[in-house]
Amino acid sequence: MLYNNLLVGTRKQPRAPQQHVGRRAWFVPPTEAIGVEDWMQALRYVQKLHETLSEVSEGGGNQSLFVVMDHDLVARSRVHAYKCIEERAKNAVHTDSHDFRQMFVADLMSRNIFNSRIRYCVAKLQEFAIPSSQQYDFISDAIALYVGGDCVDRYGQTMSVRDALVAEVAMCFAPWYRPDDIFMLDFAEEHCLCSRKLRERLWDITALGRYVLKLPSFETIITILAAEVVLSRRHQYRFVSRQILEDLRSGRGSSRGIPYSLRMFDLVSDDRESVLDERGHPISHVALSPLGEKVVESVLQSEDRLQDLILVMLESEVENVDTSILGFDKTSTQADIVSASLLESDDKESVRRSASFAQKGAYVDALRMLFPLTERLVDATIRRLGYANPGSGMAKKVGLLVAKGILSHDTASFAEIVTARNKVAHGSIGRNDHVLLKPLYALTFNYLARLVQEVESNAINLEAKSG
């Protein structure tokens, strides 16, 4: 595991006093260890995320939590909730500004939030196998119970099984209600770690999710933040961007619109001091925690290499390439590649040297040897079969082999994805690059073995037919 010294010590280490925003050093002094207590929240969420991905990988996730929204149900529930609120307002003697049901009014006005509340209700009812034809009756009763403020008072009283379920569903409208199992599935979906299979009403793990599932805790957090940088194409508060990370590192992080992942993994903490904006309103700032400083430093130092690794996996999903059939989870032997008659002796030696570099953990050097072989193998196939070279660029070359029946569409698509990452293996090597690029090497090595097998088999068959 990277950074084994992160968990040095069994008690929380004292932190340096907070300094004024703008003068705060972003780095963690080498003498300051990150104590176990600093890790606890981050570890809990990483564990929950790994458990969720494991459930999805092994069985498609919890099917009762898979909700396909019935928009008619949502619309009827919204109208019913509005009427309940109106009726309560007519009969109320006074309104308590601290009444948590006031939050329900705001939730009702927000389409997304109210939809999520109904989704929680449906998931709860699906757990008890309540048919869809009866769900509105339960939800409408739950709304009336919640708006009336009777759901809390009824706990501890004797009630029927149905009333107990209605009271439980009513809690889905409480502002604090957010089931961890649903949240983690949503988090995994938003970060492209899993995808929904509507026909089977299950989830499917993605290549990126499969990769994250195998990572230690620290690398998991780094990869999640790097994925957010890849997914954030404009200024927004849903995902972190490189600019947000740089602002936090330099002590300019504002608490406004901080992406949830930073708080989820306990990477930031609120500064006690605040400054005034141009209107004289106080602006609170956030500072990186000791763990956050190390995570953000690692993400920014990885430059584009980690982002490129993530893009390979995301592109494989867009191209509908099943990376599991490429041997993503298996170890391919170099014998599968060097036995190819299409490869020259120098290329076979490059395969052996690449494997030797990988055994030593030098995955960047291994990729530098491996990446060019994909295109050279395609070129050798075109020459062997006597086809006219369509020109430079992998797209034209693999397109020709697909048209001739030598390559399948999936194999051809992934050839372009792999060779487009050739720049990843060039330039200066960062501190973490060898470890970060280990899965890209495994994917590329296994893909090359698959490419060799498919090209050799189809080329031999084609030559036999023409001969």
Judged against a pLDDT cut of 50, whether residue 1 lies above it is answered with no
Residues 78 and 129 in one domain: yes
Average pLDDT value for the chain: 79
Residues 312 and 436 in one domain: yes
Residues 336 and 451 in one domain: yes
Judged against a pLDDT cut of 60, whether residue 19 lies above it is answered with no
Residues 16 and 81 in one domain: no
In a domain, 59, yes or no: no
pLDDT of residue 456: 83
Query: What residues contact residue 423 under an 8 Å CB cut-off, 6+ apart?
Result: 308
Judged against a pLDDT cut of 60, whether residue 82 lies above it is answered with yes
**pLDDT tens-place string over residues 207-257:** 899 889 988 899 899 999 999 998 886 656 789 988 889 988 888 767 677
Judged against a pLDDT cut of 70, whether residue 97 lies above it is answered with no
Judged against a pLDDT cut of 90, whether residue 201 lies above it is answered with yes
Domain end call among 231, 266, 301: 301
In a domain, 364, yes or no: yes
Q: What is the pTM of this model?
A: 0.74
Number of domains in the chain: 3
Residues 318 and 297 in one domain: no
- Tracing tokens 């994925």 back to the chain, one arrives at 227
Residues 458 and 315 in one domain: yes
Judged against a pLDDT cut of 90, whether residue 407 lies above it is answered with no
Weakest-pLDDT range from 50-59, 206-215, 384-393, 457-466: 457-466
**pLDDT tens-place string over residues 303-343:** 677 777 788 788 777 666 555 544 544 444 677 777 778 88
In a domain, 50, yes or no: no
Q: Which domain holds residue 167?
A: 67-180
pLDDT of residue 267: 93
Cα separation of 179 and 158, whole Å?
A: 26
Weakest-pLDDT range from 21-30, 75-84, 316-325, 409-418: 21-30
Token pair, residue 298, equals 């690692």
Judged against a pLDDT cut of 80, whether residue 453 lies above it is answered with yes
pLDDT of residue 13: 36
Weakest-pLDDT range from 48-62, 103-117, 265-279, 444-458: 265-279
Residues 243 and 389 in one domain: no
Weakest-pLDDT range from 121-135, 171-185, 230-244, 272-286: 272-286
Residues 89 and 156 in one domain: yes
Domain end call among 180, 197, 230: 180
Cα separation of 392 and 143, whole Å?
A: 64
Confidence label for 464 from pLDDT (cuts 50, 70 and 90): low
Judged against a pLDDT cut of 60, whether residue 361 lies above it is answered with yes
Residues 459 and 319 in one domain: yes
In a domain, 54, yes or no: no
**Contact status, residue 167 vs residue 182, Cβ threshold 8 Å:** no
In a domain, 48, yes or no: no
Beta-bridge partner residues of 141:
none
pLDDT of residue 61: 94
Domain end call among 273, 301, 329: 301
In a domain, 91, yes or no: yes
Residues 358 and 452 in one domain: yes
Cα separation of 196 and 191, whole Å?
A: 13
In a domain, 193, yes or no: no
Tally of CB atoms within 10 A around 1 = 11
Residues 221 and 316 in one domain: no
Query: What residues contact residue 407 under an 8 Å CB cut-off, 6+ apart?
Result: 398, 401, 415, 451, 454, 455, 458
Cα separation of 249 and 288, whole Å?
A: 7
Beta-bridge partner residues of 282:
276
pLDDT of residue 271: 65
**pLDDT tens-place string over residues 48-78:** 999 999 999 999 999 999 999 999 999 999 9
In a domain, 4, yes or no: no
Beta-bridge partner residues of 203:
196
- Tracing tokens 């300019």 back to the chain, one arrives at 252
Residues 293 and 317 in one domain: no
Weakest-pLDDT range from 145-159, 334-348, 425-439: 425-439
Question: What is the percent of the chain where pLDDT is above 90?
Answer: 31
